[in-house]
Amino acid sequence: MFNRETYIARRKKLKEMISDGIILLPGNVDSPMNYADNTYYFRQDSSFLYFFGLDFQKLAAVIDTQSGEEILFGDDVDMEDIIWMGPQISLKEKAEKVGISKTGPYKGLKETIEKAISTGRKIHFLPPYRAENKLLLNELLGISVSKLKAYSSLELIKAIVALRSVKEDQEVAEIRKACAVGYQMHVAAMKMAQAGVWEQSIAGTIEGIANAGGGMVSFPVILSQNGETLHNHDHSKTLQNGRLLLVDAGAEVGSHYASDFTRTVPVGGKFSPKQREIYEIVLAANNRGRELTKPGSTYLSVHLAAAEVIASGLKAIGLMKGDVKEAVANGAHALFMPHGLGHMLGLDVHDMEDLGQIYVGYDDEIRPVNQFGTAYLRMGRKLRPGFVITNEPGIYFIPALIEKWKAEKINADFINFDRLESYLDFGGIRLEDDILVTETACEIIGDRIPVTPEEIEAVMG
């Protein structure tokens, strides 16, 4: 965790941004996997980590925006806990680490909230995503579980998005560590990508690298020769020469800052001319995206520019046709790239997605585009120094989607459907880097994972 002053300063800013009322921030609790004592790995809530830094189960905090009072609620361990878990630091010590002087037992939270409600104070809370916290808020606030999201505080959401979007130097340093672990994961995967190897053994190896890096994977590993399925978690196949292997994986380090990278490599280590042709287009789109990423530009415009690189590359090899700008304006490129160019990255791999993508990736100036493909863009708004985002263009040949568009003549003016027949077993290619928006431009965080065909063939050689 960072030093005490970091958390004090973050909470001070938050209090200044909220006009009135009580801010209620529950941390996460353990979640049972198959019985109560056999839990999933504990993952603290990211906004709780941002303001309180305490990576422990069953804590909750209340901040009074008027008096400035902050209370940390939790329970000290008893002898039975000590026997099974070892000695734990006390609630008071935890609170001191983050500059909070007032603590109370977990059950005291209810009394504090009830008192605030009875005196007419507004309670600001975030939309909960865990069942346990939905039930907690339901009990504390008397709001039915299905209505909690609707009653969550837009003022609090917007304030937290504003604070967490611009990364402090110390946060970037943590993301850099996560990127270094991600680098190792991807190079290990490349080296293992030989014919006869089971996909799951590569997935397991790189998950182990993430764990050994001090944390865990930042999301379940996506790894498959069927890379045309965007989030393919089926690792059951054995690698075959002539196929591509897409690996989308990242780490989160002990502080929970994340990385998120994708590389696509030829099984056996040598691209066929056909694979390389498509690969070079995706790489050009990735490089163009990075070149255009700078403060003041919108990521929507960067997304569309990368889409133009894809459309013009596919036109050059005869898979698309017509005017490139018109094709992109009509969403024709989305047959091949039915997703957005990237998303924010930080304490969450899709940073702050729990708070609502519309508030994280869009604002009054830039609104989401309601068109297949671009509608999936999670980050469209104007870029600012300190933003950390992913740059992840791709080209996929999704047989069911191609069949549908062909049958329904969707964007038929821009697509040579007949030429696509020989690509139906191609798979997909995505190339993803993590980038920091600087004062004048942007930089790839950490060493760039081998990405040119030459670099990849050299690593796999």
| Shortest CB 219 distance to ligand GLY, Å | 6
Least gap, CB of 3 to Mn ion (angstroms) = 30
CA neighbor of 65 nearest in space, from 130, 19, 105: 19
Closer to ligand GLY by Cβ: residue 248 or 433 = 248
Per DSSP, the three-state class of 263 is strand
The answer to whether the beta carbons of residues 88 and 54 sit under 8 Å apart is no
Q: Is 260 in the site for ligand GLY (CB under 6 A)?
A: yes
The nearer residue to ligand GLY, 133 or 390, going by C-beta atoms, is 390
Per-residue tokens: 287: 């490089």
Asked if 348 interacts with ligand GLY (CB under 6 A), we say: no
Stretch that binds Mn ion, among 161-169, 237-245, 323-331, 390-398 (CB under 5 A): 390-398
- The residues pairing with 429 across neighbouring beta strands, listed in sequence order, are 395
Measured CA to CA, the distance from residue 187 to residue 326 in angstroms comes to 39
Least Cβ distance, residue 260 to Mn ion (angstroms): 4
In angstroms, the CA 190 to CA 246 distance is 10
Closest separation between CB of residue 438 and ligand GLY, Å? Answer: 22
252 forms part of the interface with ligand GLY (CB under 6 A): no
Q: Which of 393, 395, 386 is nearest to 445 (CA)?
A: 386
Answer for the pair 387, 166: CB distance below 8 angstroms, yes or no: yes
End-to-end CA distance of the chain: 40
Longest distance between any two alpha carbons in the chain, whole Å: 74
Contact present, 271 and 279 (Cβ < 8 Å): yes
| Of 253-261, 274-282, 290-298, 300-308: span binding Mn ion (CB under 5 A) | 253-261
Residue 290 near which of Mn ion, ligand GLY, none (CB within 5-8 Å, type-dependent):
none
In angstroms, what is the minimal distance from the CB of 189 to Mn ion?
16
Q: Rounded to an integer, what distance in angstroms lies between the CA atom of residue 291 and that of residue 260?
A: 19
How many residues line the site for Mn ion (CB under 5 A)?
Answer: 2
Sign of CA dihedral 420, 425, 426, 432: positive
Window 215 to 234, contacts with ligand GLY (CB under 6 A): 219
With CB under 5 A as the contact rule, the residue among 390, 397, 426, 451 that binds Mn ion is 390
The 255-284 contact track toward Mn ion, x by CB under 5 A, reads -----x------------------------
Q: How far is the CB of 79 from ligand GLY (least distance, A)?
A: 44
Identity of the residue, 18 or 349, whose beta carbon is nearer to Mn ion in the bound complex: 349
Look at the alpha carbons of 265, 396, 426, 319 in this order and tell me if their dihedral is positive or negative: negative
Tell the smallest beta-carbon distance from residue 230 to ligand GLY (Å).
8
Residue 247 bridge partners (DSSP): 223, 263
**Which residues contact Mn ion by CB under 5 A?**
260, 390
**Which residues contact ligand GLY by CB under 6 A?**
219, 248, 260, 343
